[in-house]
Amino acid sequence: MKVTGMRCGMCEAHICDVIRKLYPSAKAVHASHGHDRASFRIEGEIDQGELQKAVDDTGYRCESVSIEPYEKKGFFHRR
């Protein structure tokens, strides 16, 4: 997802905390203030509106959410 307003590592931590609180089963939670992005993996569906609202409520802005299927890669990214 595209998140604007992050300026430092603590900002990234706040976004990751929001994701983990909303989706406790989320894996590989990551945020980057340099790229204005956050990502995570989860089995099942997410409520995009709920996710955007949770991020917006922290003072950052969730510009967009994209959902892509996860494809596990083999050793050294080979299949």
C-alpha distances in Å from residue 52, one per residue of 55, 65, 71: 5, 8, 24
Q: What letter would DSSP give residue 77?
A: G
Residue 45: how many other CB atoms lie within 10 Å: 7
**Structure confidence at residue 21 as a pLDDT band (50, 70, 90):** very high
- pLDDT at residue 68 in the model: 80
Residues 6+ apart with CB under 8 A from 56: 62
Q: For position 76, what pLDDT does the model report?
A: 66
Q: Could you tell me the pLDDT band of residue 28, with boundaries at 50, 70 and 90?
A: very high
Structure tokens at 53: 């609202």
Tell me, rounded to whole angstroms, the distance of Cα 52 from its chain centroid. 10
pLDDT of 40-61, one tens digit each?
Answer: 999 888 999 999 999 999 999 9
pTM, two decimal places? 0.84
* Cβ neighbours of residue 25 closer than 8 Å, sequence gap 6 or more: 42, 43
